[in-house]
Structure 1
């Protein structure tokens, strides 16, 4: 996936589906973003009707914000770094809690150009949190910094859509 017009259309389409699905189910969403720095929330907010489902979001680029605002345990950050599935889950849980949302979605990873904290460029984790619990998904993307960030945003929207569309999920 690249930063082509098709890529942008795909992001808009995913965001529109997520907004429609959330509103249709009466569910709210909050975001916690590190490497995407607000792209997921911005894509959702760019969709008409988003105010009916988007509660808010936190850009937690620094570990201090992950810990102090989102409640990610400092010992976890100290032991595994920011780019980890458990950190992504804790970020999603924090967003869900502080924004009062039904679902929290988070992004953390390495967009490059250099590896960070022992993690390769393109290493990304998407976290999701709901009343049913929290989970995370690992990705390994390729491309330049904007491409990796765009792919991470798309992956977050896709995973959010899966949770929203899952059968039996209720607020």
Structure 2
């Protein structure tokens, strides 16, 4: 594990994000697939996070992405769960289904199986959105085992939220 993705560094990043969210009067929502709620866990490990953390949605299956986040069946059918189109619908749906002002969504292939030539293990899409604004999405290609891919995803998601909250 790299120094930047240690538990201590994720905690420090989450503390900074919480302070920025509170200073900016923001509340956060997470929509997580490949991280299974890890982003929400890191944020809610902070005492007092209820002042700025609204909720976390762990939507792993196609059905839950549709029911909980409003991802359209045709998006999943045509682009798959690990795609720019899906993560953009996830992040928008997270804001629609919560009272939060800032959202992050993640979907990816953490491994060790599930990768394809076009979407190898380590492919992760992350999207961020501010209520009333436009979503941005970025694709990442993380190296390492399942734990490393998920940990790096949490780090990148938090860093993007920091940029949005700042």
Do Structure 1 and Structure 2 share a fold, with TM-score over 0.5?
Answer: yes
- Structure 2 residue aligned with 1:26: 25
Q: Superposition pairs for residues 1-171 of structure 1, below 5 Å? A: 2=1, 7-116=6-115, 118-130=118-130, 131-165=132-166
Secondary structure of the 1:156 match is helix
Alignment partners' CA distance in 1, 2:6 and 2:86? 27
Secondary structure of the 2:29 match is strand
CA contact 1:82–1:108 (8 Å) conserved in 2: yes
Q: What is the TM-score of this pair, normalised by structure 2?
A: 0.93
| Structure 1 unaligned residues grouped into runs of 5+ | 166-171
Q: What is the TM-score of this pair, normalised by structure 1?
A: 0.91
CA contact 2:5–2:155 (8 Å) conserved in 1: no
TM-fit CA distance, 1:110: 0.3
Secondary structure of the 1:133 match is coil
Alignment partners' CA distance in 2, 1:5 and 1:151? 9
CA contact 1:57–1:99 (8 Å) conserved in 2: no
Alignment partners' CA distance in 1, 2:58 and 2:2? 22
CA contact 1:3–1:146 (8 Å) conserved in 2: no
Alignment partners' CA distance in 1, 2:161 and 2:14? 9
TM-fit CA distance, 1:5: 9.6
TM-fit CA distance, 1:116: 3.6
CA contact 1:19–1:49 (8 Å) conserved in 2: no
Deviating above 3 A after TM superposition, structure 1's stretches of 4 or more consecutive aligned residues are 3-6, 115-118
Residues 81 and 5 (structure 1 numbering): CA distance in 2 closer, same or farther, change over 3 Å?
closer
Q: How many residues in Structure 1 have an aligned counterpart in Structure 2?
A: 164
